[in-house]
Structure 1
Amino acid sequence: MMRTGALTIQTNGTILLDTHHKDFEMVQKYLFAFAELTKTLEHVHFYRITPISLWNAAANKFPLSQIIHTLEDFSRYPVPKPVMEFIQQHYNRYGEVIFHRWQDQLFIEVKNAGLKEDLIRYLKDFQLNEREGGFLASFSDRGLIKATLIKHLIPVQDLAGYERGEKIPFTLRKVTRSGSEFALRFYQAEAAYLFSQWKEGSGVIVLPCGAGKTIVGMAVMSDIQENTLIIATNLEALHQWKRELLDKTTLTEDDIGEYTAQTKTIKPITLTTYYMLIHRKSNSEERHIDILTQHQWGLIIYDEVHILPAPIFRMTTAIQSKRRLGLTATLVREDNREGEVFSLIGPKIYEYGWKTLEQEGWIATARCYEIRVPLSNEDFETYLNSSHRLRFRIASENKNKLDVLSHLLTRFSDQSILIIGHFLDQLQAISEFFSIPLITGQTPSEERERLYDAFRRRELTALIISRVGNFSIDLPGANVAIQVSGIFGSRQEEAQRLGRILRPQAQDVHFFTIVSQNTIEEEFAKRRQMFLIEKGYTYEVLYFTPKSKTLIQEVTLP
């Protein structure tokens, strides 16, 4: 006899949650603790149980018995035996290998004796000295050993401790320097508190774009009160952090340093970029990260941690004794290296869902559209006779997209519009055709700031940005985004670009993606489209006819 539970559990670890069930809200809270939310459709939410989601649950001390009871009590059918075995295997794996500090060495405690032979095999490249209950290793190999073991699905509980930084006393303001009342939102305070109390010292906080990850970072800094290194994605993000710190904390200009190509000032709070850390002019030149890691930081903040470049992954293995906070809107990585984020930064300590924040009014309500427009007959013939990679570029730079842009710019002439793209030639052509300023990686920092400020003050109602706009740009007035080209089917990029218009000042925003019809671009767009649908957004597909210059609605995807 079928029960009337809220869950349907599949043998591959996928969980379907009925959104109309009376127990929906209660079950949802439990699932967030041990499963990854992958899709939020109108009638059903999809979750997936993975090794990482179970390690996160174990790290956060969410009981295994509660996971089992949740599935058994709320499932419509008996829980598949392979799912139960999978849960127990991976949940219990966390805590079987524990790092401790023993004098100046690393003690690797192995609680499962059956794992000792595996560790000897997996760690053959490291100098291990066997001891009762585990191994002694060089403390400097702490990060490399963690990164090696995670590849074999062995998570490390790292209790080896972290270095304390020099104290820097400051507080969060109740009234900002700009004169506005300021207080943490409940979820920001909750996230900061959980991190500050985290025994292992390091971890990741996941919040949607527009939810105030920078504020959470500042709250953590205020709790810890120690010298802090903040690594941002680019100069704009770095300057945004500095503005927020000066506006919302009692820190002064004298407390904050910038380590960039223009200035190299190290102060109690120092801001730098990922590029700066890995850049060097010659093979003989010392990388900047080698300079920065010599300082006694009490906290390192990785902004947009999901985009960590490979060299930073490698370098992060060398700074495991520093307390580390990763901030991100999504842990999705196109290279599937989420395990390295877990291993080298730490477990996911806190997450708050996109749609929940939207429903509570903390981020704007977004309407998403894909507009399909054909290539001209001449361009389509060229397209058919081109290579796979060239086809993508031809489709991306479709000249008929200008007509769609003209239509949208007229339709939303009273709004604040961002036009976002990947190919610089295309963006330059759009800029010249519509006389709209363009910001690229080559735009001088002073000019970028001038244009961003003009857009914030609505002296500019439209702005074109290249990939530099994908991350950490605070443009709260933007309420229409038009995407003209992107990086193949990148879900990361889709999340970040949508995030540019989710600031709560705008309660109803529009996100358009212009795609060349019947081309490879349409195929890649399906991946990005599915990402938004899985996050719970409706997605309307429209067709644009160049001759009549009209939009025809084809279908709404729930």
Structure 2
Amino acid sequence: MIAGETDRPLIVQSDGSLLIDVHNPGFEGCREAIAPFAELEKSPEHIHTYRITPLSLWNAASAGIGKDDVLDRLERWTRFPVPDNVRFLIGDTIERFGKLILRPSKSSDTLLLTVADSTIRAELAGQKSLERYLIPTEDAFIIRLVDRGTVKQALIKLGYPVKDEAPLSKGDPLPISFREKSLSGYSFVVRDYQKEAARALYGDGKAGSGFGTIVLPCGSGKTIVGMEVMRLMQTNTLILTTNVAAVHQWIDELLDKTSLTEEQIGEYTGDRKLICPVTVGTYQILTWRPDKEADFPHFDLLRKYKWGLIIYDEVHLLPAPVFRVTAEIQALRRVGLTATLVREDGREDDVFSLVGPKRYDVPWRELEQKGWIAEAHCHEIRVPLPDSLKIGYAVADKRGKYRIASENPVKIEITKELILNHTDDHILIIGQYLNQLKEIAAAISAPLITGKTPNKEREEIYESFREGKTRVIVVSKVANFAIDLPDANVAIQVSGTFGSRQEEAQRLGRILRPKERGSTFYSLVSRYTTEEEFAANRQKFLTEQGYKYQIELWEVD
């Protein structure tokens, strides 16, 4: 079907940027069509800007979206012809995916990197950074098995993503099935989209499948997807996540919903180091070392045990040192789970090459409309900076300005009023600065959880909140990730980590479990300060997902 100009919201520009008119009736359809191969850059009120990048096109190619499909989607929605240079860029970039294919060789300790194009072979042979890894043959290169990940990392930075079709280790077998009724007494069924996500990663079970990244909203059950992958693969599994509370939640979910027993599940943290057929650990313990010059002693957890699957929970937070060991264990099946592929360190290409390309993605609003996650109402409340702080703010450097604005004491009074407006709700107050959080917790007589809160005390507070004994808790950024608080339906963000888009998404995600009355997210921002600029950047990811912020001015008497 050819669209009329009235429902063509897209303009494709010669620099590879895509402009979409938010007010055009075709906006939603257009955004859904281009999201698999373009990245959001800006999303103000009227025109959203996306950009076509090599990584976005390679993710699309790995999902089976070819050059013709990308061009067809652009031509379906654009008001003007697609510029010739953009057409060339799309074709040239997508066609690079598949030019370099990693396959098994005759030797068990090497692999074959086939490169059909003689020009590309010559270019790679001339790369000084690669000469120690690539052994040239007539029409390919031999690489050592242990260099598999390192070579993939290096090649994607040169603009040549590797299509990895080398075989993966199956690991020791481990029978896993789901219970028809959970131990907690509820009927349990894996949702259709959770099955689709796991199946997209598992593929046909042959070479080129069994690894990759799954992108699903917070509150949509990424843990269940991970368990469904485990059920499909039936093998010993290592699960890595962000903190001890998340470790315990994974263990609780596995025991509650699967056939696994306590004897089959181990915890590998600072508190306990028990290795079992299914072991759940933290990134923190994996990256611990006695000093900056020492090796990482716990890397052996990944290297020496016969895992058949590694699950990287919140993969967008995968610490840089773990990339090193992940590069060594490319023969293992692996899955990254995340709500957003945005990494604040810009290492998305390492996730692509070492964990795997995006295999499944679904828009937040789509799951909201189907009732799988709560309807969310987002409010940015702009508050005045007290006169007593204005001179100090004016003379401070950029970091100092941000902190003064973030710790604006007016936010304490506003927080109190918002709590009074939500007397029947379960409220999370989330912030960045500990002194500010301590003041708020004292002012409202609420428990406070920070990175220094002992794990036992932390879990007692979470449990009290889940049981309804505590209605309001104050949390630092330790609660941004992998915390299951299903009854929370209001979040008040008093300060954030500069312009972190992933953080805004994760914080909203804390309140997105389905509820009859929906969820409300407040972000308190000091007016006429740098905090407004950073708040706008934090909101980019969520506005791309279809959420809108209602801006409110809070006047102080």
Does the TM-score normalized on the shorter chain lie above 0.5? yes
**Which residues in structure 2 correspond to 1:105-116 (within 5 Å)?**
105-116=110-121
Shift of 1:71: 3.1
Residue 228 of structure 1 contacts residue 269 of structure 1 at CA under 8 Å; is this kept in 2?
yes
Q: C-alpha offsets along residues 38-87 of structure 1, whole Å, 9 cap, x if unaligned?
A: 67899887654321222122222233333333333554332211111011
* Aligned counterpart, 1:352: 362
Would the aligned equivalents of 1:163 and 1:322 in 2 still touch at CA under 8 Å? yes
1:196-211 equivalences in 2 (<5 Å): 196-197=202-203, 199-211=208-220
Which one-letter code corresponds to 1:252 in the other structure? T
1:52 counterpart residue number: 55
* Residues 128 and 137 in structure 1, CA contact (< 8 A), matched pair in contact too: yes
Q: Which moved more, 1:135-144 or 1:506-515?
A: 506-515
Of 222-231 and 236-245, more deviation after overlay is shown by: 236-245
Q: Output one character per residue of 1:459-485: Cα deviation in whole Å (capped at 9) or x when no partner.
A: 111000101001011111111100111
Match of 1:227 in 2: 236
Aligned to 2:328: 318
* Amino acid aligned to 1:369: H
Q: Give deviations 1:382-413, integer Å, cap 9, x for gaps.
A: 22232322222222111111111111111112
- In the alignment, which of 79, 92, 103 is matched to residue 89 of structure 1? 92
Contact kept? 1:40, 1:535, Cα under 8 Å: no
> 1:169 and 2:175 equivalent?
yes
CA distance in 2, matches of 1:349, 1:537: 24
Distance in 2, Cα, partners of 1:171 & 1:462:
37
Which moved further from structure 2: 312-321 or 8-17?
Answer: 8-17
Q: TM-score, normalised by structure 1?
A: 0.92
Q: 1:483·1:514 contact (CA, 8 Å) conserved in 2?
A: yes
- Please give the per-residue CA displacement for 1:205-230, whole angstroms capped at 9, x wherever unaligned: 00011111111000000000000000
The answer on 1:332 being equivalent to 2:351 is: no
SS in 1 for 2:150: helix
Q: Does 1:130 align with 2:139?
A: no
Change (3 A) 1:15 1:516: closer
Partner of residue 257, structure 1 = 266
Letter in 1 for 2:90: I
Q: 1: distance between equivalents of 2:163 and 2:3?
A: 40
Q: Which runs of 5+ in 1 are unaligned?
A: 549-558
Q: Among residues 309, 319, 328, which one is paired with 2:319 in the alignment?
A: 309
- Which residue number corresponds to residue 67 of structure 1? 70
Query: Residue 287 of structure 1: which of 287, 291, 297 is its match?
Result: 297
Is the 8 Å Cα contact of residues 171 and 250 (structure 1) preserved in structure 2? yes
In 2: Cα distance, 1:332 partner to 1:509 partner: 24
1:281, distance to aligned residue in structure 2 (A): 2.3
Do 1:368 and 1:539's aligned partners in 2 also have CA atoms closer than 8 Å?
A: yes
Range 498-507 or range 151-160, more displaced: 498-507
SS of alignment partner, residue 330 of structure 1: coil
Q: Which amino acid aligns with 1:196?
A: Y
Deviations 1:106-154 (A, max 9, x none): 2111122111122123344524321121111222111111111111121
Over 3 Å counting, the alpha-carbon distance change for 1:539 and 1:21 in structure 2 is closer
Change beyond 3 A, Cα 1:172–1:371: same
> Letter of the aligned partner of 1:67 in structure 2?
V
Which residue identity is paired with 1:105?
T
Tell me if the contact between 1:108 and 1:136 (Cα under 8 Å) persists in the aligned partners.
yes
The answer for the alignment partner of 1:151 in structure 2 is 157
Does the 8 Å CA contact 2:12/2:83 hold for their aligned counterparts? Answer: yes
- Classify the secondary structure of the residue corresponding to 2:126: helix
Q: How far apart are residue 21 of structure 1 and its match? A: 8.0
Partner of 2:15: 12
Q: 1:420 to 1:506 in 2, by over 3 A?
A: farther
Aligned match of 2:103: 100
The alignment status of 1:244 with 2:253, answered yes or no, reads: yes
> How do 1:29-40 residues align onto structure 2 when only pairs under 5 Å count?
30-36=33-39
Task: State the SS of the aligned residue for 1:108.
Answer: strand
Does the CA contact (< 8 Å) of 1:240 and 1:474 recur in 2? yes
Q: Which moved more, 1:220-229 or 1:234-243?
A: 234-243
Residue number in structure 2 paired with 1:117 = 122
1:212 to 218, 221, 226: 221
- TM-score normalized by the length of structure 2: 0.93
Equivalent AA in structure 1 for residue 447 of structure 2? P
Q: Distance in 2 between matches of 1:397 and 1:479?
A: 24
**Equivalent in the alignment of 1:556:** none
Q: Distance in 1 between matches of 2:366 and 2:44?
A: 13
Deviation of the 1:236 alpha carbon: 1.1
Equivalent residues of 1:421, 1:465 under 8 A apart = yes
Query: How far off its partner does 1:533 sit?
Result: 2.5
Kindly tell me the number of residue pairs found equivalent between the two proteins: 547
Q: Specify the code of the residue in structure 2 equivalent to 1:415.
A: D
Give the 3-state SS of the residue equivalent to 2:539 in structure 1.
Answer: helix
Is contact 1:477–1:506 with CA below 8 Å preserved after alignment? no
**Displacement after TM superposition at 1:12 (Å):** 3.0
Contact 2:465 2:472 in 1 (8 A): yes
Q: 2:465 matched to 1:455?
A: yes
Please say which of residues 468-477 and 535-544 is displaced more in the overlay. Answer: 535-544
How many percent of aligned residue pairs carry the same amino acid? 48
Structure 1 window deviating more from structure 2 (28-37 vs 216-225): it is 28-37
- Which amino acid in the other structure matches residue 252 of structure 2? R
Match of 1:160 in 2: 166
Query: 1:372-411 alignment to 2 at 5 Å?
Result: 372-411=382-421
Between 101-110 and 420-429, the greater mean CA deviation after superposition:
101-110
2:194 to 158, 166, 188: 188
Structure 1 residue 507 displacement after superposition: 4.4
Is this contact kept in 1: 2:383–2:524, CA < 8 A? yes
Q: Please, which moves more after superposition, 171-180 or 416-425?
A: 171-180
Residue equivalent to 1:482: 492
Distance in 2 between residues matched to 1:465 and 1:339, nearest whole Å: 32
CA distance in 2, matches of 1:384, 1:2: 52
Please state if 1:524 is matched with 2:524.
Answer: no
Distance 1:26 1:80 in 2: 22
Amino acid of the residue matched to residue 109 of structure 1? T
Q: Which amino acid aligns with 1:63?
A: G
**Farther-moved stretch of structure 1 (512-521 vs 86-95):** 512-521
The alpha-carbon distance between structure 1 residues 70 and 172, as it changes in their structure 2 partners (threshold 3 A), is same
SS of equivalent residue, structure 2 residue 310 = strand
Cα deviation 1:146-180 (Å, max 9, x = unaligned): 11111112100111221111011020122111111
Matched, 1:277 2:283: no
Contact 2:288 2:296 in 1 (8 A): no
* CA displacement, residues 234-287 of structure 1 (integer Å, 9 cap, x when unaligned): 111111111111111111111100111111110010000111111022455652
74-83 or 161-170, which deviates more: 74-83
CA distance 1:508–1:40, shift in 2 (3 Å):
farther
- The answer to whether the Cα contact below 8 Å between 1:161 and 1:200 also exists between their aligned partners in 2 is no
Residues 476 and 506, structure 1, Cα contact 8 Å, conserved in 2: no
Judged with a 3 Å threshold, the aligned counterparts in structure 2 of structure 1 residues 412 and 219 are, in CA distance, closer, same or farther, namely: same
Q: Distance in 1 between matches of 2:369 and 2:44?
A: 15
Tell me which residue corresponds to 1:554.
Answer: none
